């Protein structure tokens, strides 16, 4: 794994909080989790499971971004937010729950809309980028930034009983735009327009967000096998996963726009 900020000193023994996962990762793996920094864009249906499991696993720094306010219609799936949080900023409500779950980690809330102008400042020194978004325009900004700055990018999206996720690594395999070329993604004004109301089952977001978290934990700890160049599509009505191979495109961002930062 290539996490520049990770320097495993293992000087501080992990607490008993992690006893049930230490047999899997060892102290070295737990220290890698503690040294990791993750930027999560979206504190909603996907952000709730992915942020919760990363916090519980001991990821040392989580930055949680969302510009929305908690609404009652969010509560069927966005379990970071409770009835009492209606009207609050999602990022603040979510960060509060993560800190309550694991006060041994650092959690920062960002109540801002992600733009090409502010993304570098908002992501800061987080080395891992998580897409828990609900619109493709912001997703493209996030994915493009990940490519430019050579950060791993964990994509997910859900609608109804369906969901998908894919992991993209700077040093290996295709990128998000190889799978979803920009000219096929439709209206650039999508995020500016009123958000469409799409049906969603909370459990579906939970399944996909949990798989995202699992891949991120594997990446950080070097456990198992990375799923490179694969788009996983889940159909909750038939309980089936379809796995689509993503080809690396020679004319893509990942081949022409990569730079070091």
Site residues for Zn ion per CB under 5 A:
175, 177-178, 252, 254
Those residues whose C-beta lies under 8 Å from the C-beta of residue 75, and which sit 6 or more positions away, are 81, 82, 83, 86
Name the residue nearer to Zn ion (CB basis): 154 or 234. Answer: 154
Name the residue nearer to Zn ion (CB basis): 157 or 175. Answer: 175
Residue 68 exposed, middle or buried by CB count within 10 Å (0-12, 13-18, 19+): middle
> Min. distance of Cβ 185 from Zn ion in angstroms?
14
Name the residue nearer to Zn ion (CB basis): 55 or 254. Answer: 254
Hey, is 200 helix, strand or coil?
strand
> Min. distance of Cβ 261 from Zn ion in angstroms?
18
> Min. distance of Cβ 145 from Zn ion in angstroms?
14
The CB-nearest residue to Zn ion is 252
Name the residue nearer to Zn ion (CB basis): 114 or 175. Answer: 175
Specify the residue for token string 């930034």: 145
> Min. distance of Cβ 153 from Zn ion in angstroms?
11
Rg of the chain in Å (alpha carbons): 18
> Min. distance of Cβ 253 from Zn ion in angstroms?
5
Residue 228 exposed, middle or buried by CB count within 10 Å (0-12, 13-18, 19+): middle
- Rounded CA-CA distance 183/248 in Å is 16
Name the residue nearer to Zn ion (CB basis): 146 or 254. Answer: 254
User: DSSP labels for 58-104?
Assistant: T-SEEEEE--PBP-GGGTTT-TTS-GGGTTSBHHHHHHHHHHHH-TT
Name the residue nearer to Zn ion (CB basis): 71 or 247. Answer: 247
């Amino acid at each position: 794994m290539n996490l520049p900020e990770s320097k495993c000193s293992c000087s501080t023994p992990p607490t008993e909080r992690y006893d049930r996962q230490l047999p899997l990762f060892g102290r070295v793996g737990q220290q890698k989790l503690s040294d990791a920094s993750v930027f999560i864009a979206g504190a909603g249906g996907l952000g709730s499971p992915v942020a919760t499991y990363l916090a519980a696993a001991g990821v040392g720094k989580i930055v949680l971004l969302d510009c929305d306010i908690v609404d009652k219609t969010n509560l069927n799936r966005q379990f970071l937010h409770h009835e009492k949080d209606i009207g609050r900023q999602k990022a603040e409500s979510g960060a509060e729950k993560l800190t309550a779950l694991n006060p041994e980690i650092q959690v920062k809330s960002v109540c801002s809309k992600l733009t090409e102008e502010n993304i570098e400042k908002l992501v800061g020194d987080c080395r891992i980028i998580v897409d828990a978004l609900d619109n493709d325009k912001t997703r493209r900004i996030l994915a493009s930034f990940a490519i430019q700055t050579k950060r791993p990018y964990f994509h997910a999206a859900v609608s109804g009983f369906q969901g998908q996720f894919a992991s993209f690594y700077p040093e290996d395999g295709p990128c998000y735009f190889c799978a979803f070329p920009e000219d096929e993604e439709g209206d650039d004004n999508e995020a500016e327009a009123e958000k469409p109301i799409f049906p969603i089952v909370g459990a579906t977001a939970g399944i996909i967000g949990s798989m995202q978290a699992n891949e991120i934990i594997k990446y950080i700890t070097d456990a198992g096998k990375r799923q490179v160049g694969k788009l996983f599509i889940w159909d909750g009505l038939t309980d089936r996963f379809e796995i689509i191979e993503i080809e690396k495109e020679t004319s893509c961002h990942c081949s022409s726009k990569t730079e070091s930062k």
